[in-house]
Amino acid sequence: MKNKYFLNSYKVLYNIFSKEAYSQIELNRMLNSLEEGEDKALITKIVYGVLENNLQLEYYLSKFVKKRPKLPTYIILKIGAYACLYLNSIPSYAIVNELVELTKQESKYQEAGFVNIVLKKASQTDLELPDKEKNYLEHLNIKYSYPLWLLNKLQKEYEKDALEKLLQSKKNKLKHIRINQTIISILDFKNLLIKHNIEFSESPLKNAFYANYSKLMRVEELKNYFTAESLGSMLIVDSLDIKNGTSILDVCAAPGGKSCYMAEINNKGSVLAFDIYEHRVELINRYAFNMGVKNIITKVEDATILNKDFINKYDYVLCDAPCSGIGVVTKKPDILLFRKEDSIKSLSKLQLDILQTASNYVKVGGVLTYSTCTLLKEENIGVINEFLNKNSNFELTKLNLPKLTHINEKEAITLLPDEFNSEGYFIARMRKI
Ligand SMILES: C[S@@+](CC[C@H](N)C(=O)[O-])C[C@H]1O[C@@H](n2cnc3c(N)ncnc32)[C@H](O)[C@@H]1O
């Protein structure tokens, strides 16, 4: 094989499809193992391209393939279909030849001849989407590769325009970063970005930027001055309106982005951070160490089980619950591959259990914030409504947010992924009466 980018993309995709492995982790593992100069950008493009367009590629291939092939061959065909439809830089004969060679090498099923025939046909055929007027949901299903069960739910919850905007949202080329103000001022950091010629743009938040992350990571002088933290994730913390010198509990805290930000704001007070998994609690410790944050205590704790030691002790409790992640699929496209409809019900039950238990730890007059990175009402306002129905000692309060168009003055917000080039989040802030 002349070029290794198809082989390396295949290896990453095989691990993702066969083990339901996380795309970010698998891709980074591969990219870190490669020498400088190998085509990392193209491998990234192919891996994300196949994941983001998975249902569309399956639909397209179904025109040429009667029976679903075995996994190794199916992945090779998906790479080929993606390359034929979206990679103009590689001529179609090269796509076919390289992938036939890859099949001989990687697929146990002696299917190189079959791959050759299918990809030759694909390279001569355009993609035709289902008719939008006659089959609206099927059209969206194939155009955006969102599963039908999810489109059915979203269609009931969002107006047509909002739904299409949401489906169209793309990963921002620049990453949202938060500046570690304990060690550098915003102005000094901005000057360093300019000095090192790093592409950036302003964020709606004063302590953040959108910046070219891979370039940023290569500059030793900038290390530890910033952390990757999405706009939505920062808004969750900002909306708490934390007063310095208080006590904060974060009941679902790993990997620790919000805990560290809260600890920075509350540097005269403290943050206690729980997570149910020991290895994830270690991630919080590492995060805090890297950011130079010293006022975080971590604890392995199941947030659904009441711990009497903490009752009525905290000024602020953050419940950033585990969720279906539908708001962050531009960053993690594997979510759309493996998330099943029946998991939503069990997730909303878990979310309510965690919120209910967490509410016991809030002082009277204190704040309880519930947040997720999903867009489904069942996991968002549905959980809040059920909680408030059962707990008359809590009320929704206004979110304290910087002036960002419509999201001021609200008590609970859904930030859609197309807004501010961010991802989708939900935030509700409550007070214990
Ligand atoms: C959305 S993530 C939290 C992200 C985190 N707040 C941050 O900003 O980095 C949800 C976390 O909840 C944890 N989790 C899931 N079930 C839990 C439970 N019953 N008790 C405590 N933590 C739990 C997961 O391990 C995961 O780390």
Specify the pTM.
Answer: 0.92
Q: Which atom of ligand 1 is nearest to the CA of 353?
A: 19
Q: Give the atom of ligand 1 at the shortest distance from the alpha carbon of 323.
A: 1
pLDDT recorded at residue 409: 59
| Residue 153 located in a structural domain | yes
Q: Is residue 233 one of the residues assigned to a domain? A: no
Residues 348 and 427 in one domain: yes
How far is 406 from 319, CA to CA, in rounded Å?
24
- Nearest-atom index, ligand 1, CA of 322: 10
Tokens in use for 144?
């955006």
Q: Does the Cβ of 302 fall within 6 Å of ligand 1?
A: yes
Q: What was the pLDDT predicted at 106?
A: 87
Residues 6+ apart with CB under 8 A from 107: 70, 72, 73, 76, 115
Q: Are residues 300 and 185 in the same domain?
A: no
Whole-number Å distance, alpha carbon 374 to ligand 1 midpoint, is 14
Q: Do 84 and 112 sit in the same domain of this protein?
A: yes
- pLDDT tens digits, one per residue of 135-147: 999 999 999 999 9
What pLDDT does residue 406 have? 61
Which residue positions in the chain have pLDDT lower than 50?
none
Distance from residue 88's CA to the centre of ligand 1 (Å):
41
Per the domain annotation, does 129 fall within a domain? no
Measure 256 CA to ligand 1 centroid, in angstroms. Answer: 9
Judge if the beta carbon of residue 256 lies within 6 A of ligand 1. Answer: yes
Close Cβ partners of 140 (under 8 Å, ≥ 6 residues apart) = 146, 151, 163, 164, 167
The answer to whether residue 103 is domain-embedded is yes
Whether 128 maps to a domain, the answer reads: no
258 and 157 housed in the same domain: no
Pocket test for ligand 1, best of 240, 252, 369 (most atoms within 8 A of CB): 252
Give, for ligand 1, the residue of 259, 275, 299 to mutate: max count of ligand atoms closer than 8 Å to Cβ: 275
**Ligand 1 pocket member 147 (CB < 6 A):** no
CATH code, domain with 278: 3.40.50.150
Q: Within this chain, do residues 98 and 188 fall inside the same structural domain, yes or no?
A: no
279 and 426 both lie in a single domain: yes
What would the pLDDT profile of 57-75 be if each residue is shown by its tens digit? Answer: 999 999 999 999 999 999 9
Å from CA of 321 to ligand 1 middle? 6
- Please tell me the total count of domains within the chain: 4
The protein residue whose alpha carbon is closest to atom 15 in ligand 1 is 322
**CA dist., res. 15 & res. 106, Å (int):** 13
Ligand 1 touching residue 153 (CB < 6 A): no
Look at residue 6 in the predicted model and tell me its pLDDT.
95
Q: For residue range 284-304, list pLDDT tens digits in order.
A: 999 999 999 999 999 999 999
CB of 275 within 6 A of ligand 1: the answer is yes
Closest CA to ligand 1's atom 27? 254
Ligand 1 atom closest to the CA of 251, numbered from 1: 21
Residue with tokens 């990219």, as numbered in its chain: 31
Asked whether 258 lines ligand 1 (CB < 6 A), one says yes
Give the Å distance between the CA of 320 and the centre of ligand 1.
7
Give the pLDDT confidence of 384-421 residue by residue, as tens digits: 999 999 999 999 998 877 766 666 556 899 988 877 77
Atom of ligand 1 nearest to the CA of 354: 19
| Domain extent for 400 | 238-432
**Any ligand 1 atom below 6 A from CB of 382:** no
CA 253 to centroid of ligand 1, rounded, Å: 5
Distance 169 CA to ligand 1 centre (A): 26
Say if residue 270 is in the same domain as residue 286. Answer: yes
pLDDT mean across residues, the chain:
93
Indicate which atom in ligand 1 lies nearest the CA of residue 229: 8
Q: Ligand 1: does its nearest atom lie under 6 Å from the Cβ of 320?
A: yes
Q: Are residues 99 and 155 in the same domain?
A: no
User: Do 269 and 213 reside in the same domain of the chain?
Assistant: no
Residue nearest to atom 2 of ligand 1 (CA): 322
**328 and 184 part of one domain:** no
